[in-house]
Amino acid sequence: MSEAPVPYAGIATRAIGLAIDVAIAQVIVFAGGAVLALVASLVDMSLDSGLAAVLAACAWAIVVGTYFVLFWSTAGQTPGMRVMGLRVLTYDGRHPGLARSFARLVGLVLSIIPLFAGFLPVLVDDRRRGLLDMIAGTVVVYAEAGLPAEPVKTTAAVISDTVVHEP
């Protein structure tokens, strides 16, 4: 009897979902920047351009980081993932918590820095995990499918099951 494969999300649907999320996050950042610029102009406040650039970069990082961590930890999917019908889960089928979502964010940054090379393992991994998933202990599945009834075993669980106990 063959077991039906779990439909782990592929690289194309994940990339489109990420592009949608980045676009949404950018709109939020630009809208917040426009509001702050309006307030600054009303109170006749000007900043050194270098300081303004540093503050803008920090604000961008905070908004984008909060966006991803908040959606992953509460809903298990970002709006872009929802559009593409994806969900991020831990190996036992739960939404990633706050700490795991933050680890996934760090993994996302590390995946993007080397020209998105951290996503290449999705092409060869049996569960289609990228670097961010490997770091956080998550998988991305199609939302309507979910995980199989029996949770996927982690490497530690597989090793402990194969240990031979001598009398």
Per-residue pLDDT of 40-99, as tens digits, reads 888 887 777 888 889 889 999 999 999 999 999 999 999 999 999 999 999 999 999 999
Residue 70 placed within a domain: yes
* 86-90/138-142 β-pairing: antiparallel
Residue 167 placed within a domain: no
Residue 155 placed within a domain: yes
Global pTM value: 0.81
Domain that holds residue 21: 11-160
Residue 6 placed within a domain: no
- Whether 118 has a pLDDT exceeding 70, the answer reads yes
Residue 120 placed within a domain: yes
Question: Which segments of the chain are extended strands (E)?
Answer: 86-90, 138-142
Number of domains in the chain: 1
Residue 45 placed within a domain: yes
Residue 79 placed within a domain: yes
Nearest Cα to Cα of residue 70 among 19, 104, 26, 109: 104
Instruction: Compute the average pLDDT of residues 10-20.
Output: 97
- Whether 10 has a pLDDT exceeding 80, the answer reads yes
